[in-house]
Structure 1
Amino acid sequence: MEDRYFQLLDQLADLGENLCRSRMDPDTWHEYLQSGFDQSHVPDLIRILDDDTLHESEFAGTAMAPIHAWRILAELKAVGAIPALISLLPRVDDDDWIGEEFPDVFSKIGPSSLESIESYARDSRNGEFARICTFHSISQMGCDHPEQRTRCVEILTDLLRVHETNDPNINGFLVSALSDLGALESFEVVREAYEKNHVELSVLGGLREAEYYFKIGANDYDGVDAFVEERLHRLREFSESHPFEPTQIIEKPQPMVAGRKVGRNDLCPCGSGKKYKKCHGFAGTLY
């Protein structure tokens, strides 16, 4: 059993950093299964996720092993990996691979993960960025699994209803997640949070911007072309001075002028040719 585990660990470490980066797009993760990974590997893949020494390794190949592991588990729809994945959420402060990839990981595993994600999202004792990751995971689940959309909207809306006791940053990302789902049915709660000044404006902008993102009166939005161009200009400047490195620590979002919201799966406005979520995007904003 030990030999099997260490053989698998060596195999993932040998895949290395370059392959890890070349398969950042979740649409490519199925290629792992072409190497022979199957359900028999699930227990050892979960063990790799649970091994703290790997996450803290100074060797790039070894440190990338958990990333390869969770992608394979996602493709195998390994429901048994959900507790191990949830236990990794607190690491998002130091590992932005988690923030980038876990929404897709949970969504690929499927709706079976929604209950655990919801439970984590509702616990205000959990870290800010870890909870934000779960908001984004819930939104991704609703987008990828239409039959779960209503439930996902209900969860996020319920969390936003207590906006008076939430941190404004949390409220901002809840609004962002709801806008990703096009949750017009929740906009009265969104409006109330804005009107009581409980929403961090650097995440999505003010109420008028939120109306635009939710496509409320979008045709009457004055100056939107200039607004979008300014946003793109700032993104280009940011991309030139801050090249994306997935191993960087996620920093708390800084105040920025909001513009047209760029979808996670849209091309990044910086011109890199990558999807926004794989270039300058995290939870719908810059970090």
Structure 2
Amino acid sequence: MEARYFQLLDQLADFGEDLCRSRIAPDTWHEYLQSGFDQSHVQDLIRILDDDTLHESEFTGTAMAPIHAWRILAELKAVEAIPTLISLIHRIDENDWIGEEFPDVFSKIGPSSLEAVELYARTSRNGEFARICTFRLIAKMGCDHPEQRTKCVEILTDLLRAHGTNDRDINGFLVSALSDLGALESFEVVREAYEKNHVALSILGDLRDAEYYFRIGAKDYEDIDTFREARLNRLRALSESQPFEPTRIIEKSRPIVAAPRIGRNDLCPCGSGKKYKKCHGVAGTLH
């Protein structure tokens, strides 16, 4: 059994950077199965995800192995992998691949994961960016699985009802996730959060902007494309200092020149007076 595991690990490590990039689009992940992966590989693939030494590896191929593993598990719809995948969400601060790919990974596995994801999203002690990832994940689930839309809207709306105690950024991303679901039925809660100044305007914009995004199908709303583009530009500007960069893992094995490190809780060097994580340190906002 050990020999089989290490043979699989070597195979995923050999896939390396090139295959990781060429199959970055979720609709290409099915091509992994052409290499013979099936249900008999599920437990070993989960073991790869669960191995901390791989996530912290300085070797390019080895560091990419978990990424290949979760894509294959997604295509195999391996519900057995859900607990391990949930346990990896906290790594989003050092691994951009998680924020970019987990919404598709969980959606491909299916709605069986929704209960565990909801629990994670509701646990305030979990990291801010990790929870934001789950909001996007819930929205993705509701979009890809229409029979789950109502449940997904209910979860996100209930989380937003606590807007008075939530961080304003958390509220902003909850509103954004609800807009992705076109959850007009939740707009009164959204409006209340905005009117009480509990929503960070840097995420989706002001209340008027939110009205456009939620009522995207309404005939009396003109220039919706302009507002869509404005939203996208706003999110790009918010994340441009730390965008999704698959090279973050890949370059771990290359020589690195030491530079002053800015902690997420340090003051932002731009002079805004905000913490770095609330200013130019925001990541994973494009979806």
TM-score tier by shorter-chain length is 0.7 to 0.9
What is the 5 A alignment of 1:127-142?
127-142=127-142
Across the aligned residues of Structure 1 and Structure 2, the Cα RMSD in angstroms comes to 2.8
Where 2:166 maps in the other structure, the secondary structure is coil
| Aligned residue number for residue 195 of structure 1 | 195
| Aligned residue number for residue 22 of structure 1 | 22
How far apart are 1:234 and its partner, in Å? 9.5
What one-letter code is carried by the residue in structure 2 that aligns with 1:22?
S
Q: Which runs of 5+ in 2 are unaligned?
A: 250-263, 265-275
How far apart are 1:252 and its partner, in Å? 3.9
Is the CA contact 1:96–1:247 (under 8 Å) kept in the aligned structure 2? no
Per-residue CA deviations over 1:146-203 (Å, capped at 9, x if unaligned) read 0000000000000000000100000000000000000000000000000000001111
Q: Distance in 1 between matches of 2:234 and 2:113?
A: 38
Is the CA contact 2:111–2:148 (under 8 Å) kept in the aligned structure 1? yes
| Aligned residue number for residue 102 of structure 2 | 102
Q: Distance in 2 between matches of 1:89 and 1:227?
A: 29
How far apart are 1:246 and its partner, in Å? 1.9
Is the CA contact 1:202–1:254 (under 8 Å) kept in the aligned structure 2? no
How far apart are 1:243 and its partner, in Å? 7.8
Per-residue CA deviations over 1:21-50 (Å, capped at 9, x if unaligned) read 111100000000000000000000000000
- Percent of residue pairs bearing the same amino acid type: 75
Q: Using structure 2 for the length normalisation, give the TM-score.
A: 0.82
| Aligned residue number for residue 46 of structure 1 | 46
What is the 5 A alignment of 1:210-225?
210-215=210-215, 219-220=220-221, 225=226
| Aligned residue number for residue 258 of structure 1 | none
| Aligned residue number for residue 284 of structure 2 | 282
| Aligned residue number for residue 184 of structure 1 | 184
Per-residue CA deviations over 1:193-224 (Å, capped at 9, x if unaligned) read 00000001111111011111112778456898
Tell me: CA distance 1:15–1:220, structure 2 relative to 1, closer, same or farther (3 Å): closer
Q: Distance in 1 between matches of 2:55 and 2:6?
A: 16
Q: How many residues align?
A: 258
Q: Distance in 1 between matches of 2:244 and 2:91?
A: 19
Q: Distance in 1 between matches of 2:155 and 2:165?
A: 17
Q: Which runs of 5+ in 1 are unaligned?
A: 256-280
Tell me: CA distance 1:26–1:252, structure 2 relative to 1, closer, same or farther (3 Å): farther
Is the CA contact 1:77–1:108 (under 8 Å) kept in the aligned structure 2? yes
Tell me: CA distance 1:224–1:29, structure 2 relative to 1, closer, same or farther (3 Å): closer
